Amino acid sequence: MENLSQITTRRVSLEEEIPFTDAHCHLDLFSEPEKIFMEARKAGVGIVITAGGNSEGNIKTLDIVHGGIYGVVGISPEFMLLEAWKIEELKDILKRNKNIIGIGEIGLDAVMAEKSPLEIQEKGFIKQLEIASSMEIPVVIHSRKSLSRTFEILKESAIKNVVFHYFEGNENDAKAAEKEGWLVSIPPIESSRLKRVIKVLDIESIVAETDSPAVGRNPADVLSVIEKIAELKGISTVETGERMTKTIKEYFYV
Ligand SMILES: [Zn+2]
């Protein structure tokens, strides 16, 4: 039998061996989410934050979360026309598992305006921000071709902890987000815009994501994102990853 201090030591060393975090993915869209997570762990990714976005995805997310798998649940702009009435249910889902740690992905998506009119997207977005601020939990933002309006709504709300998943802005937008104390999440794509964003931000304002399986293949792909950020910041990959994990833990209270 191990005693408590041995177990604690073992846990600490395990965490040291698994330093990285995928700040945004969709494990509910994989047929074997647990297997995908175990593969990510082997690659050094000990924490993933998996995001719902409609009622089906939210229920699946609730089933998947445990250990290093944390989740956010929400109604995304794309589904707002169909599922705005499901927003009230989020409060219940949020209380059912301590690994459900925020509301997301929520926001505005001008590309989806035909499927879900922007006026309805805004109403649902604001309502979810109200729930998050009343529960004092963070939100994960989806903003596509809507950044200035998204900023406005967030500033008018009482919300504090905001993560911009797949940040769509330029370096000035990134600085504006940082000034508000928000986090900018970098997806696994190469672009000169994102390089400039990474360069102007403090490492404490940056996290890395795969948005898998939509963009990256799986959460293990976050390593290549962290490597690129590390290179641009002139810090080692491990240190970069560890600092981001620390940021995530503090921000999401995990
Ligand atoms: Zn996503």
The arithmetic mean of pLDDT across residues 60-79, rounded, is 97
For the whole model, what pTM was predicted?
A: 0.92
For residue 27, the enclosing domain spans 4-251
CA of 16 to the centre of ligand 1 (A): 27
User: What tokens appear for 246 in the block?
Assistant: 């620390």
pLDDT value for 3: 46
User: Scanning the structure block, which residue is given the tokens 């009343």?
Assistant: 134
**Residue 12's pLDDT is what?**
42
List, for residues 180-202, the tens digit of each pLDDT value. Answer: 999 999 999 999 999 999 999 99
Ligand 1 centroid–CA 9 distance in Å is 35
Q: What is the pLDDT of residues 233-254, one digit of tens each?
A: 999 999 999 999 999 999 998 8
pLDDT of residue 9 exceeding 90, the answer is: no
**Ligand 1 geometric centre to CA of 203 (Å):** 22
pLDDT at 11: 44
Residue 107 CA to ligand 1 centre (angstroms): 11
Mean pLDDT of 3-31: 70
- Cα(236) to centroid of ligand 1, in Å? 27
- Separation of CA 211 and ligand 1 centre (Å): 5
In tens, the pLDDT along 89-132 reads 999 999 999 999 999 999 999 999 999 999 999 999 999 999 99
pLDDT of residue 254: 82
* pLDDT for res 16: 52
Q: How far is the CA of 53 from the centre of ligand 1 (A)?
A: 8
CA 81–ligand 1 middle distance (angstroms): 18
Domain total of the chain: 1
How much distance in Å is there from the Cα of 142 to the middle of ligand 1?
A: 7
Output the CA 201–ligand 1 centroid distance in Å.
22
Query: Confidence band (pLDDT; 50, 70, 90) for 17?
Result: low
We report the CATH number of the domain holding residue 184 as: 3.20.20.140
